[in-house]
Amino acid sequence: MRLSTQSIWTVLVHLSAFALQAHAIDVDINSESSLKSAASEATYGAFKWYYGNETGQIPGAFPDKWWEGSQLFAAALNYWHLSGDTTYNEEVSMGLQWQGGDKGDYMPSNYSSYLGNDDQMFWGLAAMSAAEMKFPDRSSGYSWLSLAQGVFNTQKARWDTTSCGGGLRWQIFVYQAGYTMKNSVSNGGFFQLAARLARYTDDNEYLTWAEKIWDWSVSSPLVNNQTWNVADSTQCADDCANAGNVQWTYNYGAYLMGAAYLYNYTSDSKWLDATNGLLQKMSTTFFPHGNIIEDITCEPREICNNNEILFKGLTSQWLAYVALLVPSTADTIWPKLQSSGTAAAASCTGHNNNTCGVRWYQSKYDGWTGMEEQISVSQVFSANLLKYGNGVGPVTSKTGGDSKSNPNAGEGVTDSKPTYKPITGGDKAGASILTIGFVGGWIVIMVFMILGA
């Protein structure tokens, strides 16, 4: 059991849940109607944690975990797209629009001073999904496609050649812990966004950037295109000579999804090789219990934080789209998604209200409670629904996509385009001090969690 900022009362509720378990979400993984019912249960459970539609609240706002709003809405988009249930559409539409900010680039003024490139990117991907699913543009404000383009344009302007020969930094501003790092999810997400924009718009600029991001990634320690290992991060201070090799599902998934889109768009064997290589490495890394997905870095020790709980649900959804976009991968992917979905359903027996857990491979409730758990389970159910969704793949501007394009969205925004300077000896020393302090604090927290478990 995790010990974090939760109250003693919440911890006691978690413990008591084992004695008060209800039936799990009942799902027949081979039944479309059963999957729709299960996805409805899980999505409802996720939205019980959302207050942005209430009087006096801000649509789409999650003050302490802003990026997670994008994942709630992405899960709801997938659920709507594959079930036809419009229950959450207005909340999704309003939240996605509101958090776009004044410039339509997901740099809202109330959060932009402390956002990372990955935070912004996830909202851009959610908007991209809305465009690809033909989620109706709002009658006023920014189109979903233009919001994705706004994110792309602001991140393109942050491409940093002062260290490591290129790449996006993890954080945007110099005062943020993590500014001296370049990481896989930021660059992999930017790569995926460029790939999806290329396919949707048929604009060569996006394809050129996707190639550029990929080529830099495989020239850095982040992506090894021989072993297909994807590392978590690398440091600017040593010019990205080494990498922190912590393994997370979504780092692989971000690059895998982009490669699959590019193969579907270009038929270039380079992208098929990347898709197959990344998928094979994921299969041997993140499925240690048969075909059930697991974030191996945190789940065995029960130390997953809220961010990390979302990773495998998000990755499950990406895997489903990979199977759709690159049909030769389907025989590998669908058994994994089906086993993961069945196990996830069995974890949803908490609190007599189908509260879901984290460690799906246990096939029982493990005492964890939160919006993140519900989102991940909703995502894996919707991922399985995609198998039954004839003709519901991601559209393009040539195959029915009608979200309005604005190739210049987000440009000219000075507060989201920091100017990078070359790394100096003082910067390296400061980065070392910051890193030591960050790692030291992280170790203390981990020890506290483990001893308290």
Is residue 8 scored above 90 in pLDDT?
no
Calculate the average pLDDT of the chain. Answer: 88
At which residue do the structure tokens 């971000």 appear?
254
pLDDT tens digits, one per residue of 238-271:
999 999 999 999 999 999 999 999 999 999 999 9
Q: In this structure, what CATH number is given to the domain that contains residue 333? A: 1.50.10.20
Q: Which residues of 270-301 are buried (b: 16+ CB within 10 A; e: fewer)?
A: ebbebbbbbbebbeebbbeeebbbbbbbbbee
The DSSP-derived string for 48-80 is TT--TTSTTPPTT--TT-HHHHHHHHHHHHHHH
Structure tokens at 319: 């895997």
Query: How many domains does the structure of the chain reveal?
Result: 1
The larger pLDDT score, comparing residue 9 to residue 296, is at 296
pLDDT tens digits, one per residue of 442-453:
334 333 343 444
Residue 1 forms part of a structural domain: no
Among the listed residues 209, 182, 183, the one whose alpha carbon sits nearest the alpha carbon of residue 195: 209
The larger pLDDT score, comparing residue 443 to residue 290, is at 290
Residue 314 forms part of a structural domain: yes
The predicted structure's pLDDT at residue 111: 83
Residue 3 forms part of a structural domain: no
Segments forming the whole domain that contains residue 233:
8-452
pLDDT tens digits, one per residue of 224-238:
999 999 999 999 999
Residue 210 forms part of a structural domain: yes
Residue 227 forms part of a structural domain: yes
Other beta carbons within 10 Å of 422: 8
Q: How far apart are the first and last CA of the chain?
A: 5
Is residue 201 scored above 90 in pLDDT?
yes
The whole-number average pLDDT for the span 10-28 is: 53
Residue 182 forms part of a structural domain: yes
The predicted structure's pLDDT at residue 23: 60
Is residue 431 scored above 80 in pLDDT?
no
What is the pLDDT confidence band of residue 48, given thresholds at 50, 70 and 90?
very high
Structure tokens at 39: 């996805």
pLDDT tens digits, one per residue of 91-117:
999 999 999 999 999 999 878 888 999
The predicted structure's pLDDT at residue 113: 83
Residue 88 forms part of a structural domain: yes
Strands (DSSP E) found in 64-173: none
> Model-level pTM greater than 0.85?
yes
